[in-house]
Amino acid sequence: MLATGSALEFRDVVRSFPQRGGADLVAITDITFAVRSKEFVAIVGPSGCGKSTILNLTAGLDQPTAGSVHVSGEQVKGPNAHVGFMLQKDLLLPWRSIVRNVEFGLEARPVSRKERRERALSELQRCKLEAFANHYPYQLSGGMRQRAALARTLAIRPDIVLLDEPFSALDAQTKMLLQKSFGQTIAESGVTTLLITHDLAEAVAMSDRILVMSDRPGRLIEEIHVDLPDRNNPIARRSHPRAGQLITRLFELLKLDERVA
Ligand SMILES: Nc1ncnc2c1ncn2[C@@H]1O[C@H](COP(=O)(O)OP(=O)(O)OP(=O)(O)O)[C@@H](O)[C@H]1O
Ligand SMILES: [Mg+2]
Per-residue pLDDT of 89-130, as tens digits, reads 778 999 999 999 999 989 988 889 999 999 999 999 999 999
- How do residues 128-154 score in pLDDT, each as one tens digit? 999 999 999 999 999 999 999 999 999
For the Cβ of 50 lying below 6 angstroms from any atom of ligand 1, the answer is: yes
Query: Does 223 fall in a domain?
Result: yes
- The model's pLDDT over 196-247, given as tens digits with 9 standing for 90+, comes to 999 999 999 999 999 999 999 999 999 999 999 988 899 999 999 999 999 9
Kindly state the DSSP code that residue 218 receives in the 8-state scheme.
B
Ligand 1 pocket: which of 53, 88, 194, 196 to mutate (most atoms within 8 A of CB): 53
Whether 46 maps to a domain, the answer reads yes
* H or E stretch covering 95: none
Interatomic CA distance for residues 122 and 105, integer angstroms: 15
> Are 109 and 208 within one domain?
no
Among 157, 181, 215, where does a domain finish? 157
> Does residue 26 lie in a domain region?
no
Split into its structural domains, the chain has a count of 2
- What residue numbers bound the domain in which 257 lies? 38-65+73-82+159-261
CB atoms closer than 10 angstroms to residue 245: 11
- For residue 27, the CA-to-ligand 1 centroid distance in Å is 7
Q: Closest-lying ligand to the alpha carbon of 56? A: 1
Q: Compute, in angstroms, the gap from residue 51 CA to the centroid of ligand 1.
A: 8
153 with 176, same domain?
no
- Cα separation of 237 and 184, whole Å? 13
CA 120 to CA 168: how far, in whole Å? Answer: 26
Same-domain status, 231 and 247: yes
CA of 230: how far to CAs of 152, 226, 252, 255, in Å? 25, 11, 25, 28
- 197 and 257 assigned to the same domain: yes
Q: With beta carbons less than 8 A apart as the criterion, state whether 215 and 235 touch.
A: no
- Give the start-end residues of each E strand in the chain: 8-17, 25-35, 40-44, 66-71, 74-75, 83-86, 160-164, 192-196, 209-213, 220-225
The answer to whether position 27 is within a domain reads no
pTM of the model: 0.94
Distance 198 CA to ligand 1 centre (A): 15
Q: Does some domain include residue 137?
A: yes
Task: Report the distance separating Cα 141 and Cα 137, nearest Å.
Answer: 8
Ligand 1 atom at shortest distance from the alpha carbon of 56: 18
- Among 157, 191, 210, give the residue marking a domain's end: 157
